[in-house]
Amino acid sequence: MGSKKKGTRAERELFDMLWCVNFSTIRSAGSGSTPRPSPDLLASNGKRVLAIECKSSKKENIYLTKKEVDELNEFCNLFGAEPWIGVRFNNMKWFFIDTDNLKKTKKNYYCVNLDNIKKKGLNFDELIGKFRQLRL
């Protein structure tokens, strides 16, 4: 399966997970169709609005451009939404990190590392606030 197809599959998986916990969720028509910033998913339970940029990879590092992150923040500032990056490494569950906690690399890229996000990211239940794990 190609990486683009896999990305879409991952995005739809998260879309369904959000609906299952009663978040009304919309999938974006895609960044290619417009120059405007647009998160992959936008979900709300009437209290919180989550804007999620989804990334999946079989490698141990996922890179995001500064432009991607800036646009997500820009969208969220105006909409009144929380900016999240959702990452799905091969054979792992979803992890989530907000844009403030992303690690910037030298070349104007942000990097999400598998080991790091297992420690510092939120899992799905934590994201939606169902359960917050104690981090000692």
Q: How many angstroms separate the CA atoms of 40 and 55, rounded? A: 10
Q: How far is the CB of 84 from a second copy (least distance, A)?
A: 15
- Phi and psi at residue 126, to the nearest 5°: -70, -40
CA 72 to mean position of chain CA atoms: 10
Q: How far is the CB of 105 from a second copy (least distance, A)?
A: 28
- Identify whether 56 is a catalytic site residue: no
Q: How far is the CB of 18 from a second copy (least distance, A)?
A: 10
Pairing of strands 103-104, 109-113: antiparallel
Structure tokens at 9: 């599959």
Binding site for a second copy (CB under 8 A): 12, 15, 19, 22-30, 33-34, 36-39, 42, 44-47, 49, 75-81
Pairing of strands 49-57, 41-44: antiparallel
Task: Pick the catalytic residue from 3, 24, 28, 31.
Answer: 31
Residue closer to a second copy (CB basis): 53 or 89 = 53
Q: How many angstroms separate the CA atoms of 96 and 44, rounded? A: 16
Q: How far is the CB of 32 from a second copy (least distance, A)?
A: 11
Residue closer to a second copy (CB basis): 28 or 116 = 28
Total Cβ atoms within 10 A of residue 121: 21
Residue closer to a second copy (CB basis): 49 or 114 = 49
Residue closer to a second copy (CB basis): 41 or 117 = 41
The residues annotated with a catalytic role in the active site are: 31
